Structure 1
């Protein structure tokens, strides 16, 4: 296996581990927990998922051929409360991850050093993948912290 193949396999493994962590957190939450905000300035888990899914669909649709910031993406709207059920949240989560993983698994070793564009800036594919691993990892961390806060509040009583 060459370095590029190893990188792609490792990337898939890292993304799948982040998705699994989120899946495990979601399995422990009641419906209302997805929409809880500890303060007016906070984002609920549902809003975080909505943002992550929007980012995933924008970045990974036509990954090698189009700018990762699609004209159809409405980033600001991702931070509004539009999802209304646990099912909506999980559907958005899974739709985003399906796009990421299908695209990533379709990449070939020769694609790793190609140049792509995100927000009109050029990046080599390896850097773009690392950028997204970091981005999604930070949001999965927010989701985990939010769930921990909810859990602590429930058992304070």
Structure 2
């Protein structure tokens, strides 16, 4: 297996695992756990789910599905952001499915790892990547971003529940 395929497969394993653990944590939450935050300046699970979904939308859906970027990043971090448990689960599942779908596309076309998918799109906003970034750099950034925030979601769920049950 060449390095491109190994990288793509590693990222697929990572995102599939993150999806599983994050959904299991969310499923154990009560509706009020989704909007709870430990301090007035901390993000709730709802904020974190909205942020992951927004990042996936602006960075992946725009290139995978040719959907214009309509992200409202400021709203993702609004204090008191309302979201039901079902919405959180659906948004999380959808975001991971889009990431996995994009990686599967790259798996079928590993040469696209070095492509610059944003090159001819409007300038990116609120992003750690720019229009000249490669698909490889984009996915490395997404691994870091998603892992960071799913860890926060799981930690918040543990604080609320005391203990989570894993399958």
Contact 1:63 1:103 survives alignment (8 Å): no
> What is the distance in 2 between the residues matched to 1:126 and 1:6?
12
- Cα distance in structure 2, aligned partners of 1:35 and 1:82: 7
Match of 2:121 in 1: none
* Count of residues in Structure 1 that have an aligned counterpart in Structure 2: 150
Other-structure match for 1:75 = 73
SS of residue matched to 2:38: coil
Structure 2 unmatched runs, 5+: 119-123
Contact 2:31/2:84, CA 8 A, preserved across alignment: yes
CA RMSD of aligned residues (A): 2.2
Q: TM-score, normalised by structure 1?
A: 0.84
Unpaired segments of 5 or more residues in structure 1?
Answer: none
Bigger share in strand? 1
8 Å Cα contact 2:114/2:135 also seen in 1: yes
- TM-score of the superposed pair, with normalisation by structure 2: 0.79
Contact 1:56 1:99 in 2 (8 A): yes
Q: Deviations over 1:56-113 (max 9, x none)?
A: 11111143797xxx64111111123444311111121122122211122112111112
Give every structure 1 segment of 4 or more consecutive aligned residues whose post-TM-superposition deviation is greater than 6 Å: none
Q: Aligned partners of 1:33 and 1:54: how far apart in 2?
A: 21
Is 2:113 aligned against 1:112? yes
